Each structure stands twice: as C-alpha cells, then as structure tokens.
Amino acid sequence: MKQPMDHQRKQPRTRSAKPGTPIQRALVAYRNRAVLTAESYLAQVGASRELIAKYRSAFGRKAAAAYRSATSTEPTQSGWAVARRRLVAVFAYDRALLDGVLAGYVVTKPKGVRLLDLITEVA
C-alpha cells in the first residue's frame, strides 16, 4: 500500500494572468481575427479580465440560445479559445445579436444587476 506524501507542503496553485501558452494565444488571435466570439465581444465592450473570465461562458450560452430562437438553426463553431491549456472551438456571432443579449443579461450575484451595469462600473 502506498503511503501518502504528507511530508510535502501543499503549494498554493496560482493562476497565470493569461491562460494557455504563448503559441496557443497566438493561434487563437490569428483564428479569431475576423470573428466575434462572446469573449472578444466582452473585451471590446470594455469588461475587465475578471468579469470576462467570470461571465464569458454563461454569456456565450445566452447568446447561443438567442441565436437559436432567432434563426432556428445552430450557431457555427468558427472561433477558438484556450480553456485549461487546450484549444476549444467556440461559437461566433454578429454584433447586433450580442448587443441585444448584453442589454438583457441579468446576473445572479449581485441579484438583479445587469452585466452591462457591471461593465460600465469598472470602466
């Protein structure tokens, strides 16, 4: 039976400021230069890195649901993102759809606050 290694101190895991390797970030920037993903849209609107990391996934799901209801088709996976040091395919949208989703997006914590209000507070 293998003994646990209790004699080693636990090291706190720190997140790097930017996810992924420099090559992965360069590939994502090159691939996404002509598409608008949820993350790039939030960055263009002026959201901080913390807000983008916290809300990009939920914002993307709301944008996909809005796209499905508006067009009755699935959005196309034409962008890339780095998630846990892996490249993943992400959906791309048009600006008008994302503007509408951002205007109606209400976050749960703090309750009843719109994401647009959080972005303008920071800026």
> Who wins on pLDDT, 122 or 30?
30
9 band by pLDDT with thresholds 50, 70 and 90 = low
Taking the chain, what is the end-to-end CA distance rounded to the nearest angstrom? 56
- Evaluate if residue 11 carries a pLDDT over 70: no
- Evaluate if residue 7 carries a pLDDT over 80: no
Q: Are 114 and 107 in contact (CB under 8 A)?
A: yes
Q: What tokens appear for 52 in the block?
A: 């983008």
CA separation for the pair 79, 18 (Å, rounded): 18
For the chain, domain boundaries: 22-122
| pLDDT single digits (tens) 69-81 | 999 999 988 888 8
- Evaluate if residue 1 carries a pLDDT over 80: no
| pLDDT single digits (tens) 17-68 | 667 788 888 988 898 888 899 999 999 999 998 999 899 999 999 999 999 9
